[in-house]
């Protein structure tokens, strides 16, 4: 509700990062994010956040560019097609032109730490393997002199994970050539 009431400018972006636990219920054909107050024996899953509700709530936020990252087990089932089944650019462009092109279309994309499977929490007290790679990607891409990192620059970092990350759109409002961009601040 807080984000739905917030005013966003046309080029603003919203990054939503979930880290924690998730489950998939075969009987309901639905993935869920476990909240702090979710009950382990909740057969109806009423204390969990269904992926369908999460997609809907994020989609209704009045921000043009939303990127959802989920470091949870069974996160790939956010994609309903996956749950029920088991861009090349030439030449260089200026940072301004790249940002205009990338942010001119509505974005509703997601990246998850795994597919329809359990994912590693890693070593207690440390980041999960997925979160560590996410942080590494942000640091390295900004450290190579590039000021702008797109989702397509981010995704290759996760290719060698033991679990299979999922990337895609979470809403029909997503425009196929849209992107979410990270811009390195110049301090």
Q: How far apart are CA 168 and CA 176, in angstroms?
A: 10
Q: Which residues in 99-178 belong to E strands, given as ranges?
A: 107-112, 148-150, 166-169
Cβ 26 vs Cβ 86: under 8 Å: no
Cβ 23 vs Cβ 73: under 8 Å: yes
**Can you give the pLDDT at residue 87?**
29
- What percent of the chain stands above pLDDT 90? 32
Name the token pair of 85: 């089944």
pTM for the model stands at 0.63
- The 10 Å Cβ neighbour count of residue 37 is 7
State the number of CA atoms in the 13 A half-sphere of 12 facing the CB.
10
Question: pLDDT, tens digit, for every residue of 69-120?
Answer: 999 988 888 877 766 654 234 456 777 887 888 888 899 999 999 888 888 8
């Amino acid at each position: 509700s807080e984000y739905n009431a917030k005013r966003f400018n046309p080029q603003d972006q919203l990054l939503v990062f979930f880290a924690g636990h998730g489950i998939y219920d075969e009987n309901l054909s639905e993935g869920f994010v476990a909240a702090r107050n979710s009950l382990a024996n909740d057969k109806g899953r009423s204390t969990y956040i269904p992926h369908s509700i999460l997609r809907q709530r994020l989609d209704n936020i009045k921000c043009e560019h939303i990127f959802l990252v989920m470091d949870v087990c069974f996160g790939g089932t956010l994609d309903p097609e996956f749950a029920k089944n088991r861009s090349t650019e030439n030449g260089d462009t200026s940072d301004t032109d790249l940002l205009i092109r990338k942010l001119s279309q509505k974005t509703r994309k997601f990246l998850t730490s795994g597919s329809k499977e359990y994912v590693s929490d890693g070593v207690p007290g440390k980041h999960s393997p997925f979160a560590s790679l996410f942080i590494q990607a942000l640091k390295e891409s900004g450290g190579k002199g590039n000021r702008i990192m797109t989702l397509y620059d981010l995704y290759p970092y996760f290719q060698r994970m033991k679990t299979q990350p999922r990337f895609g759109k979470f809403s029909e409002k997503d425009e196929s050539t849209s992107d979410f961009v990270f811009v390195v601040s110049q301090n």
